Amino acid sequence: MPDSRRRRAAARADGLTLDRDRIAPRRGWTRGRAAYIDPGVTYLGTSVQVAGLYPWVQAGGLPSQGIPIGPDLITHEMVCLDPPGWVGTLTTNPSCWLQGQPGAGKSALAKRLCLGLVGYGYQMICPGDVKAEYVDLVAALGGQVVRIGRGLDSINPLDSGPLGRRLAALPHPEAERVQAEINGRRTELLHALLATAAGLGRRPTAEESSALNSAVRLAATAAAPGDPVIPDVIRVLRDSPDEIRQRLITRDDTEYVAAVRSVIAALENLCDGPLSGLFDRPTSTPLDLERPALAIDLSALLSAGDHVVAAGLLATWAYSYASVDTARAFGLLPRPVVLPLDELWRALRAGPGMVNAMDAITRLNRSRGEVSLMITHSLQDLEALPTEEDRAKARGLMERCDITILAAMPVSELHRVSAQRPLTGAEVDLVTSWAAPTTTGVDGTAQVHPGRGKYLIKIGGRLGVPVRLQLTETERRLYDTDRAMRASRR
């Protein structure tokens, strides 16, 4: 017997198998095993066509660039957001729309985005922080906090800002043009303030508007090189100068008083009562646009009523955004801007001036390099505006935000969202599940919203990416919005 056969026979007797025995002969084994397996045919198809054969198709994740948010709830990969960096690739507009129930963590995500963008060189500006939610973050970033209220800081709605401070250095023709621009902005803000409940409660008539325009121009000339205040405008109207009389074509004092009485009374209301000392004197603390973050804290006005908050929002928005706009025009703005617009419903209801301002921001922020974070609870907030023109402009705010971030909310609200940003049935079910209560809280312990920190990120028409926000210990301290509730329970 050959040595090879002898070794195989000995191995089989010992229960072993040699490697050579596992190699099939040329014609294959006689007991069913084949030496050749057909690899099959590869077919290619779209995800729609192949979904019936392989229904577990999932869209690719978002690019791993920008601001880290947390793990994907399905794949557990890290999810990042980069609103300005995705423009031109995934999006056409850097604005973000954040919507969800109270307590779901909308503000926490907005602050994470602001913190990340500041780290990337952006300047955070919160022009009307109604609930002082951004004050701690701004202070931690080394920013400036301006607190508006009685005995606190004041802002002059007629302040010319950086534009006025550079007026003296301009040649005469250019100075006249800039002065006309400043007076136009002052007049437009007064019109908006008069439209609030604190003023006339309506836009001024053509006759009242003509008198107001002239009074602002005359008050500015008398106050030069400084800035006029609202009492200066009232004084001009009360003095009944010939320029205003001629513009109104009034024959005697009775006609003049009838034409301007309502405007004078409304302007005096802005300087008296709950608004006294807030917007009727020079600006006490000018905005420092060199700081990495700015916030105008209006929380001291909440106890004075909604109409006072509305007037405060209009004044602070006009002042802060005019400062940014003019600084940018002169090349004095050192960095791009991120604007967290929290409590959007309250700002929009402040008056027609706010709707117009936000409409302009979302149309121009791509060319200006601005990132707007619009945060609200419900699309019904937009339908509560007084005129159809305002409601139409407000609906356009969401349509121009390519990035939609949805926190926990009921199915009825998601159907309203889906009318503007189509959602799949699975996406609706997922976001709705975050809104379902998990505990009753009958034991008296503090309950956390079951969907807190969970979001569905929609980029245009792509499938949504579910993510959980992971906060650091420092962020938990800076983003804490339940401090007052815990204090009241104690």
CA distances from 60 to 55, 82, 457, 470 (A): 15, 16, 13, 22
Predicted local distance difference test score (pLDDT) of residue 55: 61
Predicted local distance difference test score (pLDDT) of residue 313: 81
For 4-11, which contacts have Cβ atoms below 8 Å and span 24 or more sequence positions?
Answer: none
The amino acid at 354 = M
Query: Whole-angstrom Cα distance, residue 104 to residue 84?
Result: 25
Predicted local distance difference test score (pLDDT) of residue 481: 65
pTM of the full structure: 0.77
CA 147 to mean position of chain CA atoms? 21
Predicted local distance difference test score (pLDDT) of residue 370: 82
Within 8 A by CB and 6+ apart from 77, the residues are: 61, 64, 71
Predicted local distance difference test score (pLDDT) of residue 193: 81
| Contact between residue 141 and residue 292 where contact means Cβ atoms under 8 Å apart | yes
Q: How many CB atoms lie within 10 A of CB 2?
A: 7
Q: Any idea what DSSP says for residue 71? A: E
Predicted local distance difference test score (pLDDT) of residue 18: 47
Cis peptide bond upstream of 127, omega within 30: no
Q: Which residue from 414, 417, 316, 296 is spatially nearest to 357, judged by alpha carbons? A: 316
Residue 86: how many CA atoms within 13 Å on its side-chain side?
Answer: 23
Predicted local distance difference test score (pLDDT) of residue 393: 75
Domains, in order of start, for the chain: 63-119+335-439+447-490 (3.40.50.300), 161-267 (no CATH)
Predicted local distance difference test score (pLDDT) of residue 432: 92
Predicted local distance difference test score (pLDDT) of residue 359: 67
CA 210 to mean position of chain CA atoms? 35
Predicted local distance difference test score (pLDDT) of residue 379: 81
Predicted local distance difference test score (pLDDT) of residue 98: 92
**Could you state, in chain order, the average pLDDT of each consecutive group of 10 residues for the chain (490 residues)?**
58 51 63 63 76 63 86 89 88 88 88 93 89 91 89 84 69 78 82 77 84 90 86 91 87 87 88 79 85 90 78 80 75 81 73 65 64 85 73 77 90 88 90 73 59 89 89 87 52
Residue 447, both tokens: 């309950």
Within 8 A by CB and 6+ apart from 330, the residues are: 162, 163, 166
Predicted local distance difference test score (pLDDT) of residue 486: 47
